[in-house]
Amino acid sequence: MADQAASDEVTNTFDLDGVSLVQALRDVEVANARVIDLTKRLTSMNKELVKATTALQKAQLRNRQLDARIKELEKIEGSRAFRSARVAGRLASGVRSRLAK
């Protein structure tokens, strides 16, 4: 009887080892599938990030260009020549309206 119990234990150990091996292989397959899925998602998100970064850089460049133009316009509007031209324009407009009457 003792021999019978000992041989049952060994058989059960082999069965458990086989089940454990099959389960381990399934776990590896599931883990590999998850890695492949996550890699695809990461690649996709990286492409989106590159597009967004490019769009941001273009917008920042355009903003710098507009800021430079605004500064140029402010400099022109602050000049004496611009103020003189504005006054001359107002005077000419007043003269035209008086002549039209």
Return the structure tokens found at 47.
Answer: 């492409």
Q: Is the pLDDT of residue 6 over 90?
A: no
**Over the stretch 11-68, which tens digit does the pLDDT of each residue have?**
555 666 777 888 999 999 999 999 999 999 999 999 999 999 999 999 999 999 999 9
Distance, in Å, from the CA atom of 69 to the CA atom of 72, rounded to the nearest integer, reads: 5
Query: Residue 96 corresponds to which tokens in the numbers above?
Result: 């035209």
- pTM here is 0.54
Measured distance CA(76)–CA(84) in Å, rounded: 12
- Give 76's contacts (C-beta < 8 A, 6+ positions apart): 82
The pLDDT score that the predictor gives to residue 18 is 73
